[in-house]
Structure 1
């Protein structure tokens, strides 16, 4: 299925996952926090290590290394959780490091290339060229709900 969603210019939070630069629209980001203790959830998908309690809110966590089938790394002082909101749910994304917040203009955005496999193509809305670096702009919907499956269900 072809990705028809168009990336809009604006501010983006840029972060690294296994030395690759990725970004999310600042409109999707609630906050960025240091790593928190994660409580495991039996039977969860392999890329969902568990949940955190953030100021009384229970938030499921996605490890983006496992989601992208990359080698899992040891958390460092730079490891962060980006708390995003999608369809009314708060979800934590584990990233190696938050690098910067940038303004990305329309002319700096390229749509997803056909040469990528379906996982890469679905997970990215497009790519931006900033200061000579290529930054993948995540499709948060496809990252959190691959192939339309319900990963996070409110009981």
Structure 2
């Protein structure tokens, strides 16, 4: 059974995908009312499911006419996307942010599920048994090497 966060995320992504939209403006209170949840639940979904690592920019305007704008980052080509991801992950990346990057690579069809699982096994905290912050730095270097290889394999 899916939880409310999954349902809200799916709803927002469906709106973004409809009619080729690359951005949406929402009112947190209206969305919370629609899903019969507290507004902080909407904040949680936006903060955790619409991150830069996953390919989104979130802007907000407070006040009476306030809104939250979710923008899907669009790239001209795969090489540009990979360069942007490499820029985001360096000099270090947490395990959760790395998982978000792998999810984005899957969504963009840059890797298969099998390749993503292999990449995950190489950058997992159990594999990288180092103390922080060294572990996050090594994870970024390994992921950067894999992405650089992907970039040149796709040409």
Name the TM tier (shorter chain): under 0.3
Higher strand proportion:
1
Bigger relative contact order (CA 8 A; separation at least 6): 1
Q: Which has the larger radius of gyration?
A: 2
Task: Give the structure-1-normalised TM-score.
Answer: 0.27
Higher helix proportion:
2
